[in-house]
Amino acid sequence: MFNYVTGYAYSGKNADALAGLDLENGVLTFKQATRELGIPGKKLKGIKAVASLMRFLKDEDENGEKKVRFYSVFDATEVLARAK
């Protein structure tokens, strides 16, 4: 599975989370849809997330463990259909 905007192929646990999905155009985040593709946020209201992915940040918490950030991704085909 890949990111529609960046072309980045997901790996690790994120690839596992997306493995069962059959999305031909890949996935993208809400911010990518609004900033990169110029789709107004109101047109994306009510769209269902296909998965929740995670990213490790460079910062560490008070226990010395890396901080984790979770974000939702959406089916690029569905997002592009709402752009029209």
* Strand-pair category, 27-28 with 66-75: antiparallel
Give the pair of three-digit tokens for residue 23: 């999305």
Q: Which of 26, 79, 72 is nearest to 52 (CA)?
A: 72
Structure tokens at 47: 């769209």
Mean of pLDDT values over 2-18? 93
Task: Output the pTM of the full model.
Answer: 0.82
pLDDT 10s digits, 21-39: 888 899 999 999 999 889 9
pLDDT digits (tens, 9 = 90+) for 42-66: 998 889 999 999 998 888 888 888 8
Q: Using CA atoms, how far apart are residues 33 and 15, in angstroms rounded to an integer? A: 21
